[in-house]
Structure 1
Amino acid sequence: MLYQSTRNSSVKKKASEVIAKGISEEGGLFVPENLPDLQEHFSQMAEMNYRELAKYIFSKFLTDFTPEEISACVENAYASDRFNGEEPVRLVPLTKTGENKYLLELWHGPTCAFKDMALQILPHFLTVSLQKTAPEKQVVILVATSGDTGKAALEGFRDVPDTKILVFYPQDGVSPMQQRQMCTQEGDNVCVCAVKGNFDDTQTGVKQIFTDKRIGALLDEQNMLFSSANSINWGRLLPQVVYYFYSYFDLFRNGTIKSLEEKINIAVPTGNFGNILAAYYASKMGLPVKRFLCASNSNNVLTDFIRTGVYDRRREFYTTSSPSMDILVSSNLERLLYALAEEDCSSVSGWMEELASTGKYEVNQKVFCKVKELFFGGFCDDNETAAVIRELLEEENYLCDPHTAVAVNVYRQYLQETGDTAPTIIASTASPYKFVQNVLGAVADASDPDEFSNLNRLELLSHTDAPSQLRGLKDKTVRFTDCITKEQMAEFVLQAVCSDRS
C-alpha cells in the first residue's frame, strides 16, 4: 500500500513515511492509492473483538509494518484498563421515542473524548515509523486544537522518547474543562499555548509552520523534524475507521440488523470533517451505508457546502456550546473532494488555492451530485442543542454532551425530511462532563461560575458519575499560561524546541 498527495498524485510514500511526515511538502494530504474491499470477510470480522478487528484493518494499510509491530501498537493503545472496560467503545440503543438510533460512545478513554481512539495509538504508530524512516531524528509534534485533540495528543505523547509536543488552542474557543485539562498536563516533553483568535487562525498558523522552508531547515540543523497529531495525519485518521466497522458488527450481533448486507445511516457531529470521513472510507471498504449525516452547529459551512456545492468560509464565526466544532475551514474535506473528483489533484489544488486566496470555492456539478447523493447536511443552534440534552435526559434517562446533541438533532431533521427509519449510528464524541456549564445549563440553572460545583450538581441531577480523570483536575497545578498572536506562533515554536537543545 502506497500513499499519494491530494495536490500531487505523483508523490508515492510508504505508510511509515506519511505517518512520520504528517503532511505533504506542497500542503496536500496523504491518501491511500486504493482502499481494500473487505466485504467478503465480514463473517469473519463480525466475530472479532475490537483489538482483533483493529489489527486486521491496520494490516491492510500499514504494509511496511510487521504483524508483530501492528499487534504491539494495538495492544498497548487499547488495553482495557485505559478505556474502563473490555472494549474501548460502547453502542447504546436509544429507542424509547420510537427512533431507531444508537449512540456510539467513543469517549471512555483517558481524556474522555473520541480523539483517544486515535491518539492513544498514534504515538505507537509514529515510534515505529520513525525507527524505519528517521531513527536518528527527534520529532516535534505540532497540534492545533478546538479542544479535544489537544488533551488527547498531550496525553498520548506524554514522555514518549525523542518527541516533543506543542499544542495551540484558541484563547476563548474551548470549554473551561478542556482548557484545564490541557494547561495542567504533566510530562517533560509537553508545551501548551493559547492563541488570540479562533480555531481557524490557530490551524492556519500550524499549517504555515509545517510548510515554512526556513523553519524546516532550522529544525533539520537541530536534527529534528515536524509531524502532526491532527487528523491531517493519516495515522490519526486510520484508527477512526475501525469503530464504524465494529459498531456495525455490534448491530448484527445484537440482532438489530439481520444480515451483513443491510444498510445503516451514520450521523457524525463534525467541524474538521475527519470523523465523518473515516465513516466514508469504511463504506468504500464495503461497510453498507445509505447516508452520512453531517451535523454542524451554527458554524454551518459544511451544511451549506453539502446543500449547494459552494464552500464559503466568509461568514460570521460563532463561539458555541459545542466548541470542538467551531471551525470554518474543514481540512479533511480535501480528502473527500480528491476521492469524488476521481483523484484529479489539479482540481483539488485549484479549490484549495481559491479557498486560501478568496475564502471560497465551488466544486463542479459532477462532484456536487456525488456529495448530495452521499451526504445529508444539517445544523442547529445552541438553544436547539440544549433542548436535545434536556429531552434525552427526560425521555431516555441519558445524559449527552453538546456535540452529540447536535448530531441527534440533525438525525431528527433527516428522519422528518426523508422518513428513513433505517438503523442509525450516531457518533457520541465526548463525556458530558467536559462541558459541564453548558450541559447543566440545559437541564437546570448554571449561574455558579465554579466548574467543579457544577460538576457535583450535574451528577446529582442526572444520577450519573463524572469521570475520575475530570474530577481530579481540581487539585492539579496549572503549568501553561502563555497567550500569543497567530503571527507569533512560528517564533514560539522555534524558541520552545530549540531552547531544549541549547
Structure 2
Amino acid sequence: MRYISTRGDAPALAFEDVLLTGLASDGGLYVPETLPRFTLEEMRSWRGLPYHELAYRVMLPFVEDSIAADDFHAMVRETYEAFAHQAVAPLVQLDTNEWVMELFRGPTLAFKDFALQLLGRLLDHVLEKRQQHMVIMGATSGDTGSAAIEGCRRCEHVDIFILHPHERVSEVQRRQMTTVTGDNIHNLAVRGNFDDCQKMVKTSFADQSFLGDKTQLVAVNSINWARIMAQIVYYFHASLALGGPDRSLSFSVPTGNFGDIFAGYLARQMGLPINQLVVATNRNDILHRFISRNRYEKQPLEPTLSPSMDIMVSSNFERLLFDLHGRDGHAVRSLLERAQSEAVAIEDYRWQSARELFDSAALDDEATCRIISDVYGANEYLLDPHTAIGVGAARECRRDPSVPMVTLGTAHPAKFPDAVEQAGVGVEPTLPKHLADLFEREERYTVLDNDLTDVQNFMARHWKYAS
C-alpha cells in the first residue's frame, strides 16, 4: 500500500512515513494510491465479530506493509477494549428504520476516540522502533484536543501542543484538555477561531524550521491519514448490525472538517453498500452550499451551540475534490488557490457525480434545540447538539424511508449542557463516573495572541529537548 498526495507533487510514501508526515511536502493530503475492496461474501463472514476484530480486518490492508499483523492486532484490541460499552459503537433506534450510532463511549466522550486512541499506540510503536522523538501539533474545535491528549499522553517519544480557540469551546471540552497533567502536554488557547488555529498548524507543517533540526512535527488532526482509516470501520459495523451487506444503508454525519463523512465515502468505495451520505452542518455551512448549489465560498465564522462544527475551511474536503477531479492534483491545487479569495465551483458533471451519493442540510441553533426537544419528547433520549443536527438533516434529506438511516452520534450530551438547557427538555446531562470530578480538577493552559510567531516561539522553547 502506497500513499499519494492530493496536490500531485509529493513522493509516494508507505504507511509508517505517512503516519509521521501528516501534511504532504507539496501542501496536499495523503490518500491511498489504491483502495482495498471487499466482496459481499467476505463482509458476510464478518457478521457477529467483536468490534476490534472487525476493525483489524478492515484496516489491515492499509498498514500491513509497515506493521506486523500481530502487533497491529494487539494495538487494535487494546484500543477498543478500553471503551465503556461492550458493543463499542452501540446502535439506538429512534423510529422505524431510524438509528443513532453512539460513537461517544470512549474515554473522552466523542467520536474522535475511535481514531486517536489507536493513533497514540501507532505512534508509540513506530517511534520506539525508530528511537525518534517528535512534536505533536494539533488544532481543535473542541473534541480532537482531548482525544489526542488522552490517546498520546503516555507516549514516551512525543511532546503534545494542542491549539484551541480561546473561549470558543464548551467548558467540558476545555477542561477535558486542560486538566490532564504531564510535562509533555501543552494546551494553547489562541485568541481567534478554529480556522485561525488550523491555519497555524498547516503553516507550521509547511515550514518546520522554528523547531530546529532535532525533531519534526506529527499531525493528530484529520489531515493524518490514520484518523480517516480508523473511522471507516464503524460504517461497516453499523451495516453488519442492520442487515448489510445484503441491504444498503444511509448515513447522516455531523461534520465541519469533512473527515468523518469522507470515511463513509471510502467505505462505499471499498464495497460497502451505502445508499446516501448526508452532510449535516450548522450555520457555518460552506459544505452545505457546495453540496446543494455547487458553490464553495468562505464566509465569516459564527459561534454556535455546536462548536465542533464551527469551521469554514474544511481540510478533508480536498480529499473528495481529488477524486472528483480524476485524481488530478494540479487541478485540485488550482481550485483551492482560487478558493482563498473567491467563490469557486467545479464542472457540473463532476458536481452531479458527487450529488449521486451526497445530500446536505444546515440547521441553525433554534432548529438544533427543536430536534433535541422533539427526540427527547418522543423517546426520552438525549442528543448533543451535533448529533441533533445530524438527525435533523437526516429527516430533511432522506431519499428512501425503506432504507435504514443511521445518524452518527458524535458526542455525549454532557459535553454541551448549555445547548441541552436551551432545548428546554428539563433534564441536565451528567458526566460518566470517570469524569464526575472534572470541574474540581486543576486546569493548566496558556493563552496566546492569534499570532503564528508567538505560538511557534512557545513551542520551540517548551518541547522536551529544546536548547
TM-score range, shorter chain: over 0.9
1:72 aligned residue = 74
1:54 aligned residue = 55
CA distance in 2 between partners of 1:331 and 1:67 (Å): 31
CA distance in 1 between partners of 2:136 and 2:10 (Å): 26
3-state DSSP class of the match of 1:194? strand
CA distance in 1 between partners of 2:236 and 2:403 (Å): 17
CA distance in 2 between partners of 1:76 and 1:501 (Å): 33
2:4 aligned residue = 4
Instruction: Say if 1:32 and 1:53 are closer, same or farther in 2 by CA, change over 3 A.
Output: same
Q: Which residue identity is paired with 2:339?
A: L
Matched, 1:146 2:137: no
Instruction: Say if 1:149 and 1:213 are closer, same or farther in 2 by CA, change over 3 A.
Output: closer
1:419: Cα distance to partner?
A: 5.2
1:156: Cα distance to partner?
A: 0.6
3-state DSSP class of the match of 1:78? helix
CA distance in 2 between partners of 1:466 and 1:317 (Å): 29
- Whether the 8 Å contact between 2:121 and 2:152 is mirrored in structure 1 is no
1:10: Cα distance to partner?
A: 6.0
CA distance in 1 between partners of 2:39 and 2:280 (Å): 27
Matched, 1:426 2:407: yes
Matched, 1:339 2:305: no
1:160 aligned residue = 155
1:421: Cα distance to partner?
A: 3.7
CA distance in 2 between partners of 1:219 and 1:71 (Å): 36
2:288 aligned residue = 303
1:198 aligned residue (190, 193, 200) = 193
CA distance in 2 between partners of 1:130 and 1:359 (Å): 42
1:396 aligned residue (375, 379, 394) = 379
User: How big is each residue's C-alpha offset from its partner over 1:439-486, in whole Å with a ceiling of 9 and x where there is no partner?
Assistant: 1221257xxxxxxxxxxx615xxxxx5312332212100111423223
User: How big is each residue's C-alpha offset from its partner over 1:397-437, in whole Å with a ceiling of 9 and x where there is no partner?
Assistant: 1001000000111111113xx45441111000000000011
Q: Give the alignment of 1:348-427 within 5 angstroms.
A: 348-356=332-340, 358-415=341-398, 418=399, 420-427=401-408
1:276 aligned residue (248, 261, 278) = 261
Instruction: Tell me the matched-pair count.
Output: 464
1:219 aligned residue = 212
3-state DSSP class of the match of 1:232? coil
User: How big is each residue's C-alpha offset from its partner over 1:122-144, in whole Å with a ceiling of 9 and x where there is no partner?
Assistant: 01122233355xx1321111110
1:477 aligned residue = 442
User: How big is each residue's C-alpha offset from its partner over 1:229-284, in whole Å with a ceiling of 9 and x where there is no partner?
Assistant: 000001111000001101110112xxxxxx62311111000000000000100000
Instruction: Say if 1:292 and 1:349 are closer, same or farther in 2 by CA, change over 3 A.
Output: same
- Whether the 8 Å contact between 2:141 and 2:165 is mirrored in structure 1 is yes
Q: Which residue identity is paired with 2:262?
A: L
1:9: Cα distance to partner?
A: 5.8
Matched, 1:235 2:226: yes
3-state DSSP class of the match of 1:261? coil
1:194: Cα distance to partner?
A: 0.7
Q: Which residue identity is paired with 1:337?
A: L
Q: Which residue identity is paired with 2:379?
A: E
Q: Which residue identity is paired with 2:356?
A: E
1:179: Cα distance to partner?
A: 1.1
CA distance in 2 between partners of 1:271 and 1:431 (Å): 18
CA distance in 2 between partners of 1:343 and 1:474 (Å): 48
Q: Which residue identity is paired with 2:233?
A: V
Residue identity (%) = 36
1:307: Cα distance to partner?
A: 1.5
Q: Which residue identity is paired with 2:171?
A: P
TM-score by length of 2: 0.96
- Whether the 8 Å contact between 1:83 and 1:109 is mirrored in structure 2 is yes
1:395: Cα distance to partner?
A: 0.5
CA distance in 1 between partners of 2:463 and 2:339 (Å): 31
1:293 aligned residue = 278
2:420 aligned residue (439, 456, 465) = 439
CA distance in 2 between partners of 1:441 and 1:117 (Å): 29
1:501 aligned residue = 466
Q: Which residue identity is paired with 1:394?
A: G
1:19 aligned residue = 19
1:214: Cα distance to partner?
A: 2.6
1:244 aligned residue (235, 254, 264) = 235
1:26: Cα distance to partner?
A: 1.4
CA distance in 2 between partners of 1:401 and 1:93 (Å): 16
3-state DSSP class of the match of 1:26? coil
Matched, 1:490 2:456: yes
- Root-mean-square deviation over aligned CA pairs: 1.6
Matched, 1:129 2:118: no
3-state DSSP class of the match of 1:173? coil
CA distance in 2 between partners of 1:100 and 1:26 (Å): 44
- Whether the 8 Å contact between 1:201 and 1:486 is mirrored in structure 2 is no
- Whether the 8 Å contact between 1:16 and 1:128 is mirrored in structure 2 is no
CA distance in 2 between partners of 1:129 and 1:5 (Å): 22
Instruction: Say if 1:112 and 1:290 are closer, same or farther in 2 by CA, change over 3 A.
Output: same
Q: Which residue identity is paired with 1:19?
A: L
Q: Which runs of 5+ in 2 are unaligned?
A: none
CA distance in 2 between partners of 1:174 and 1:219 (Å): 32
3-state DSSP class of the match of 1:295? strand
Q: Which runs of 5+ in 1 are unaligned?
A: 253-258, 446-456, 460-464
1:321 aligned residue (305, 313, 318) = 305
3-state DSSP class of the match of 1:8? coil
- Whether the 8 Å contact between 1:320 and 1:382 is mirrored in structure 2 is yes
Structure 1 or 2: larger helix share? 1
1:210 aligned residue (190, 205, 208) = 205
User: How big is each residue's C-alpha offset from its partner over 1:258-314, in whole Å with a ceiling of 9 and x where there is no partner?
Assistant: x6231111100000000000010000001111111000101011000011222101x
CA distance in 1 between partners of 2:348 and 2:135 (Å): 41
TM-score by length of 1: 0.89
1:181: Cα distance to partner?
A: 1.4
1:59: Cα distance to partner?
A: 1.2
CA distance in 1 between partners of 2:9 and 2:59 (Å): 23
User: How big is each residue's C-alpha offset from its partner over 1:127-178, in whole Å with a ceiling of 9 and x where there is no partner?
Assistant: 233355xx13211111100000000001111131111110000113211111
CA distance in 2 between partners of 1:185 and 1:312 (Å): 38
